[in-house]
Amino acid sequence: MDNIFIEIPVFTAILIINNGIFIIQQRKEMRMRICKAKDYKDLSRKAANIISAQMIMKPDCVLGLATGSSPVGTYEQLIDWYKKGDLDFSSVTSVNLDEYRGLSPENDQSYRYFMNTNLFDHVNIDKAHTFVPNGLEPDSEKACRDYDTVIESAGGIDLQLLGLGHNGHIGFNEPSDTFSKGTNCVDLTESTIEANKRFFESESDVPRQAYTMGIGSIMKAKKILVVVSGKDKAGILKEVVCGPITPEVPASVLQLHSDVTIVADEDALSEM
């Protein structure tokens, strides 16, 4: 396994959160571990190894889970190990990053449906302990407040799995002039709608809003695991790791976290 360690020197970072709170962090040394994978299959296995290690180390862990095409192979590997008797999900709690506003859990494009289909239906996790934002809650403030309570009641996230959007978004935290603190309702950008339209019959069917875990909530996770695949992500990955920390590239904030592992294939690392 090839690992690249990106060291970030002493600095002071000021994050402007959208409710007016300022967070100032000083670090003497931080490292972003970048694990180089040969291809998507190898990436998925390496990411699944990290998640399974968390589960074995703490069987009642809280996993922050992601949707989209990037983590599908990781979930397939976890299912395979579960079927072989190597993993036990019975005590695990999960909290998902996001959900489209207006979609029911039964809608085949909802993220609840995605998680059931790609993971939960195939392992022994208690679905009562799996949480996704309520896309059908019309009161956005209530939906966001309720989901923040869910995360807090679970005891916080032990390991958060993330994909990386072409514009640097994590969850549905889109480029902005501030970092979001808690769960929030977002308007999806045209680039995100374009990227997701392949999952719908037409672009007009893609929801224009979503509920998403905030940057502040993601950064509170004890560990963060990011999976990145493909040459089309090479430019943004370099920007996230080596560029300035800015809400215009939301994932750049991960430079401030003390325990981040990025698993990326050769194509995604081609500009590093």
User: Residues near 193 by Cβ (< 8 Å), separated by ≥ 6?
Assistant: 203, 206, 208
Q: Which residues are catalytic?
A: 98, 167, 169, 174
DSSP assignment of 48-117, as one string? HHHHHHHHHH-TT-EEEE--SSTTHHHHHHHHHHHHTTS---TT-EEEESEEETT--TTSTTSHHHHHHH
Separation of alpha carbons 54 and 67, rounded Å? 19
User: Residues near 204 by Cβ (< 8 Å), separated by ≥ 6?
Assistant: none
Residue 120 DSSP code:
G
Separation of alpha carbons 82 and 150, rounded Å? 26
Residue 81 · residue 45 · CB < 8 Å? no
Give the CA dihedral 112, 118, 121, 125, nearest 10 degrees: -80
